[in-house]
Amino acid sequence: MNQPEVVMIGLGYIGLPTAALIAQNKTYVHGVDINPKVVDIINEGKIHIVEPELDIAVADAVKNGYLKAGTTPVEAKTYLIVVPTPFKAKNEPDISFVEAATRAVLPLLKENDLYIIESTSPIGTTEKMMNLIYSERPELIKKLYIAYCPERVLPGNVMYELVHNDRVIGGVDDGSTEKAIDFYKQYIKGDLHKTNARTAEMCKLVENSSRDVQIAFANELSLICDKADINVWELIELANKHPRVNILQPGCGVGGHCIAVDPYFIVSDYPMESKIIGAAREVNNYKSFWCAEKVQTAKLEFELKYGRKPSIAIMGLTFKPNIDDLRESPAKYIAQKVLQKSNNEECFIVEPNITDHKVFKLTEYKEAVEKADIIVFLVAHDEFKTLEISSAKIALDFCGVFKQKI
């Protein structure tokens, strides 16, 4: 492989597709991951994650010599940081991966290099990393281009959205913004919007917080409707007939590594000012707890009525329909709660999008429905919508598979 132009630190759900896209455009990319298994798989031209069309892109890029992976970075002109940014205890953002990745490239940086963070980050992270770089390499002060550019792709459609979505790009100064725009415009057809680093960081957090707040509104309605004996699905459909109203759908909570996480990055730093954002997180978390309690009540009612313990089917574990991703999944939390409170009731856990799980013993979905007395719908997977549930069974539809009253 020729001298790489781009070093991509972090080869996960975002870093690997981005590396493959850049390499497909005949730019030499050196991908870095601390996980040697990931590195080996990629160097074989294969992938370690599920994402349509990514396998072909990576196989081509590796075969043609434009993409190579390793566990340590090498010298390049552009460094992209795409490592995880989870939260710690007390819901505080953990930027230690970004810092570790930055420290790894620090010794390699030279005049006119471009350093970009794509990881979802709390406000001020890019400036913090700039200060870290300049404190360790003072000879480079004002001689680097440093920018932030968040990613907003939809898992399952990443290879298309990477190219076609608009991007927000913010440098620590105007020169950095321009340099980063010039970099991305080689690969991206969507519009590239200029701003500063802090606004770009906040923009990503706000996009996901906005979704979280809107889902919290729908979840709050579902709690009110349950008490008021109203079908929330019908209510929302009717309210949305108003030309300027667009209420989202309730569910069993909010999950995933973005919407359920990113709002905390704002609340943690601005607790007094972010009341609605914080309350939305609480409502969405409470909804999962409430669902678990509802299952418990249904079990007790069944036992009282029939004098025996019910068997239960838990339908779905992923954080949204038709994917295999369980990160921060409220359905997984509810399944755990139901199992913890299980008093020797038979429990069938269903997740058609994964083959096995190290904690849950999975059951085929039709078999689970056949055997269970209480069927708890947590994720509206397509398969479930074709099921016919006998009226002799109790169905708790928390995610609108049949849009029945809970």
Ligand X SMILES: NC(=O)c1ccc[n+]([C@@H]2O[C@H](COP(=O)([O-])OP(=O)(O)OC[C@H]3O[C@@H](n4cnc5c(N)ncnc54)[C@H](O)[C@@H]3O)[C@@H](O)[C@H]2O)c1
Residues labelled as active-site residues? 204, 258
The distance of closest approach from Cβ of residue 134 to ligand X in the complex, given in angstroms and rounded to an integer, is: 20
**Of the residues 24, 27, 78, 120, which one makes contact with ligand X according to CB under 6 A:** 120
The distance of closest approach from Cβ of residue 19 to ligand X in the complex, given in angstroms and rounded to an integer, is: 11
In this structure, the number of other CB atoms found within 10 A of the CB of residue 127 comes to 16
The distance of closest approach from Cβ of residue 295 to ligand X in the complex, given in angstroms and rounded to an integer, is: 30
**Of the residues 1, 56, 100, 239, which one makes contact with ligand X according to CB under 6 A:** 100
Measured from the CB atom, the residue of 113 and 345 that comes closer to ligand X is: 113
Backbone angles phi, psi at 378, to 5 degrees: -110, -30
Q: Which residues 6+ apart lie within 8 Å of 218 measured at CB? A: 232, 236, 247, 248, 249, 250, 251
Is residue 253 involved in binding ligand X (CB under 6 A)?
no
**Torsional sign, CA 278, 279, 280, 283:** positive
Is residue 258 involved in binding ligand X (CB under 6 A)?
yes
End-to-end CA, the chain? 59
The distance of closest approach from Cβ of residue 18 to ligand X in the complex, given in angstroms and rounded to an integer, is: 9
The distance of closest approach from Cβ of residue 86 to ligand X in the complex, given in angstroms and rounded to an integer, is: 8
Looking only at residues 68 through 97 of this chain, which bind ligand X when binding is defined by CB under 6 A? Answer: 82-85, 97
State the number of binding residues for ligand X (CB under 6 A): 28
What are the angstrom distances between the C-alpha of 192 and each of 15, 177, 203, 240? 19, 10, 14, 33
Measured from the CB atom, the residue of 31 and 171 that comes closer to ligand X is: 31
**Of the residues 24, 119, 176, 274, which one makes contact with ligand X according to CB under 6 A:** 119
CA 79 – CA 77 distance, rounded (Å): 7
Backbone angles phi, psi at 30, to 5 degrees: -105, 110
What's the distance, CA 52 to chain centroid? 16
Looking only at residues 144 through 203 of this chain, which bind ligand X when binding is defined by CB under 6 A? Answer: 151-153, 155
Which runs of E-coded beta strand occur in 237-341? 312-315
User: Do the beta carbons of residue 140 and residue 105 sit within 8 Å?
Assistant: no
The distance of closest approach from Cβ of residue 12 to ligand X in the complex, given in angstroms and rounded to an integer, is: 2
Measured from the CB atom, the residue of 45 and 86 that comes closer to ligand X is: 86
**Of the residues 8, 20, 42, 101, which one makes contact with ligand X according to CB under 6 A:** 101
Q: Which residues 6+ apart lie within 8 Å of 7 measured at CB? A: 29, 30, 31, 32, 73, 74, 76, 78, 79, 80, 105, 108
**Of the residues 30, 179, 257, 287, which one makes contact with ligand X according to CB under 6 A:** 257
What are the angstrom distances between the C-alpha of 236 and each of 73, 221, 232, 297, 376? 51, 9, 6, 26, 22
Q: Which residue is nearest to ligand X (CB)?
A: 12
Measured from the CB atom, the residue of 100 and 359 that comes closer to ligand X is: 100
Measured from the CB atom, the residue of 199 and 311 that comes closer to ligand X is: 199
Looking only at residues 7 through 66 of this chain, which bind ligand X when binding is defined by CB under 6 A? Answer: 9-15, 32-35, 38
DSSP string of 128-156, one letter each residue: HHHHHHHHH-GGGTTSSEEEE----PPTT
The distance of closest approach from Cβ of residue 391 to ligand X in the complex, given in angstroms and rounded to an integer, is: 40
Measured from the CB atom, the residue of 193 and 393 that comes closer to ligand X is: 193
Looking only at residues 219 through 248 of this chain, which bind ligand X when binding is defined by CB under 6 A? Answer: none
234's tokens: 């019908």
**What are the residues binding ligand X (CB under 6 A)?**
9-15, 32-35, 38, 82-85, 97, 100-101, 104, 119-120, 151-153, 155, 257-258
